[in-house]
């Protein structure tokens, strides 16, 4: 599993389109729905005429967990939903990267959200491992 300080990820051995479907299914199994699906490569091609390998940002949200977070901190919506990136590199390898909620929630000064962030992180990691 690869990681950066603000997220975690892995490579998958399937096509980009299949990876998207597998990610959506795995997230669904963990209670997440997709609120947004941004085709970054398509948008850059349309707006700038620039080409790049496939790159999509999925906005994943678990309604129950989001509701708990919003009850504790109404402004937490600024940090929602959890972004999941599917990208293909120049060599054709497909990468799935996920925001680390515990890092994101460190911006909020409410200790009672730490356990919630851990739960979200655990579910996202389970979903990533299932892809």
pLDDT tens for residues 4-50? 889 999 999 999 999 999 999 999 999 999 999 999 999 999 999 99
Q: What sign for the dihedral angle of Cα 67, 69, 74, 75?
A: negative
Query: Tell me, what's the pLDDT at 25?
Result: 99
pLDDT higher than threshold 80 for residue 3: no
Enter the tokens of residue 88: 């293909």
pLDDT, residue 70, reads 95
Domain boundaries of the chain, sorted by first residue: 2-130
Q: What is the DSSP letter of 55?
A: E
Q: Which CATH architecture has domain 2-130?
A: 2-Layer Sandwich (3.30)
- Summarised one tens digit per residue, pLDDT across range 45-80 is 999 999 999 999 999 999 999 999 999 999 999 999
Q: For the stretch 21-58, what's the b/e string if a residue is b when 16 or more beta carbons lie within 10 angstroms of its beta carbon?
A: ebbbebbeebebebeeeeeebeeeeeeeeeeeebbbeb
């Amino acid at each position: 599993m690869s990681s950066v300080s603000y997220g975690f990820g892995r490579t998958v051995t399937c096509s980009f389109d299949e990876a998207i479907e597998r990610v959506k299914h795995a997230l669904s199994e963990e209670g997440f729905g997709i609120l947004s699906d941004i085709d970054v490569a398509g948008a850059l091609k349309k707006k700038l005429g620039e080409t790049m390998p496939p790159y999509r940002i999925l906005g994943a949200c678990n309604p129950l967990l989001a509701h708990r977070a919003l009850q504790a901190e109404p402004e937490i919506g600024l940090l929602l939903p959890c972004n999941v990136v599917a990208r293909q590199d120049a060599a054709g390898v497909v990468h799935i990267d996920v925001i680390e909620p515990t890092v994101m929630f460190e911006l909020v000064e409410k200790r009672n959200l730490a356990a919630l962030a851990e739960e979200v992180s655990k579910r996202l990691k389970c979903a990533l491992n299932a892809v």
